[in-house]
Every structure is written in structure tokens, then in C-alpha cells.
Amino acid sequence: MFNIRFMSGSTLLQQGLTRMALMVMLALTVACSDSAPKARKQSPSPAQSEATQPQAPRPPKVFLWQVKSPRNTVYILGSIHLLKPSDYPLAQQINEAYDNAEKLVLEVDLGDLKSSQAQSIVLDKATAKDGKTLQDRLTPQTYELAKTKASEIGLPIEAFSGFEPWFFSLSLVTLKLQRLDFKPENGVDQYFFNKATQDKKEILALETIEDQFNLFDNFSQGNQEKYIRQTIEELDTLETSFKKIVGAWKVGDEKTLESLMFESFNDYPDLEDQIFGTRNRKWMTTLEPLLQKEEDYLVIVGAGHLVGKDNVLQLLQAKGHRVQRR
């Protein structure tokens, strides 16, 4: 039924909840989307159109760093999980890092996303366990607004009757972005997963699909009514917000990207740490030992993991490693 891929007071509550749903989606490789009808004309994926792409740019800065040890080099690339075909080719520095690396490390193994086990995990985590329907959780006015807005982008709200509100919200945001031509098949991690598979490079994962969906166990707590309503009302500004994030990522502007991504978490520090900090710290048990290997690695994680408190780069520096920008 479902495909898997997939991201300050009262002012924040009124303006930041859709951005929070977007940031959560961007923090995760796995995202949820309904099997909505496809557009009649499909844009070619970056891999399909690679032969006809223009020369790769070489901007002064990109979201790429490296850590050298006496034995090897580990490249660390911040990813945007949904992009447009027009966002390719990627910068030369990024392609060079991939060419230099013998192995690829991703947040999760993207080859597992279409498995029956993954589908079961999604359904288990997204299904409401208290017997309440989505309509039960919302006022009639909000439910009708949600129904209308979802229908506008081809998402039947009836399909979400027995699911948690976060699943509906993330599906709404993801499908809206796909309608704007930002799609997971064009994401940086998917692009290099496809290349590594074709090049027969070994692919490793920092966590499992279940690890990522476990993050949602407490995400739906709080005011579900306000959360859903603000998500709906801010869909029309989603394109502008997301373009700003992609623009900051392209030019390696980590300060702007950090501001865009973490502003909506100002009143929710525990949630921010759950989605970013805790995972970053856990990943250190896998990332740091890579520096003792003989092979070079390209590590690709969501760009939000390379900015903010306890980001991956900070944690490596705190352990005495020299982190250099590429």
C-alpha cells in the first residue's frame, strides 16, 4: 500500500510546525509517501541523464569535509534527501570524494527500503494503537480542512484513518514536495547508492530502518489538533522554505542551513536531541573506527547532522580528529 523513502513561544507554534515536520523528514533517509498517481511525464533521474549533463561546477564551498588518519581518509558529505534533476550535476569536489573512496557509508541500507520487512515496520509504527481514528483526534473543521488540502495534492485522507497524525503530516509534506519535483530518487544518498551499486563498491549503514522509525514513538505527543492544522495551513509556503534549504546546501552555507533547520526546534530541545544529537553520538561508535581502516570511505548523512549542537563534525573534533573542509 505504501512506498518508503523518504524529512520560540507562541509564534513558533503558529509558524514552525510544518517546518518541524519538514526537518524531521530531512533528518531521516526513510520517508513515507502514499502510492499516489504519478505525473504523466516523468523527469529523468540524475543517473539516467548523466551522459548529457553539463560540466560539474566547482563552487568555493560545498557541504563536504574530510578527516585524515595515518591510514586513510574519511569524507563526510551532508545530503539533501529530496532534490530535483536540475540540481545535478553535483559539485566536482563531491564527485572526487566518491571516486577516491573505496566504500560508501549511508544512514540506512537503501536496498532494504522496498522489502516486505520494511513495509511491516512502517505499518507497525504508523498504525494507531489506541483505536482512535484520525478524524477522532481532530475537530470537524480541522478534519474537513485536512481532507480538502490532502485531496488537492491527490492524497485521500480516508487512507489515513487508522494511522498516527505524524504519518499523515509527513506524507502530506513529502507528497507536496514531490509535486514540486523534489523527489527521493533524486536525493544525494540515493544517487550515490545507485552509483556504488553499479560500481560494485561495498555499502555500509549507520543504523537500521527500524531505528529511524522508532524516533516517531514519541513524536505524536502533544497538541495533535494544532500540529495537523498548522501543517495544512503552511503547505503553500513549503516550496519557498525548501528552496532556501537547498540553496544554502548548494553553496555550503552551514550557518544559514542551521538557522533554517533548527529554528523550529527552539521550544522542543528534547525532540531535537532525539532526532539529531542522540543519533550523532551513537554513530560515533561506527564512524571513529573507520579511521583505523586501510580503505577510504565516503560517509553520507543528512546535512542537518553536520550543523547544530553535537553534530558529527564537532564530535569527531572533540575526539581529537582534525576535520577539514573540502
Q: What would the DSSP string read from start to end of 37-56?
A: PPPSSPPPPTTTTGGGPPPP
pLDDT value of residue 13: 27
**Residues near 306 by beta carbon (within 8 Å), at least 6 away in sequence:** 63, 65, 76, 78, 254, 312, 313
pLDDT of residue 277: 95
pLDDT at 223 (0 to 100): 59
Q: Using DSSP, state whether 13 is helix, strand or coil.
A: helix
User: What integer pLDDT is reported at residue 165 of this predicted model?
Assistant: 85
The count of other CB atoms within 10 Å of the CB of residue 88 is: 18
Tell me the three cell numbers of residue 277.
Answer: 544529537
Strands (E), 69-111: 73-79, 103-106
Biggest distance spanned by C-alpha atoms of the chain? 63
What is the per-residue pLDDT across 158-214, written as a single tens digit (0 to 9) for each? 999 999 888 888 888 888 998 999 998 999 999 999 999 999 999 999 999 888 888
Confidence of residue 125 (pLDDT cuts 50, 70, 90): confident
Question: Which cell goes with 66?
Answer: 574530510
Using the structure block, give the residue that is written with the C-alpha cell 512502517: 122
User: By three-state DSSP, how is residue 155 classified?
Assistant: coil
Q: What is the pLDDT of residues 208-244, one digit of tens each?
A: 988 888 877 666 555 567 767 778 877 888 899 899 9
* Residues 185, 201: Cα–Cα separation, whole Å: 19
What are 241-284's pLDDT values in tens digits?
Answer: 899 999 999 999 999 999 998 887 777 788 789 889 999 999 99
The reported pTM is 0.84
CB atoms within 10 A of CB 59: 11
pLDDT of the residue at 24: 57
- 170 or 49, which is more confident: 170
**Which residues 6+ apart lie within 8 Å of 318 measured at CB?**
none
| DSSP-assigned letter for residue 127 | B
What local confidence, expressed as pLDDT, does residue 217 receive?
Answer: 67
pLDDT value at residue 21:
54
Q: What integer is the mean pLDDT of 81-94?
A: 95
Which grid coordinates belong to 193?
A: 547508492
Least confident of 128-132, 150-154, 167-171, 252-256: 167-171
Average pLDDT over residues 68-87: 96
CA distance 202 to 103: 5
If you write DSSP's letter for every residue of 209-275 in order, what string do you get? HHHHHHGGGTTT-S-HHHHHHHHHHTGGGHHHHHHHHHHHHHTT-HHHHHHHHHGGGTT-HHHHIII
Helix (H) or strand (E) holding 24: helix 17-27
Domain ranges of the chain: 2-37+58-325
Q: What is the pLDDT of residue 144?
A: 94
Q: What is the pLDDT of residue 95?
A: 97
Give the pLDDT of residue 315: 98
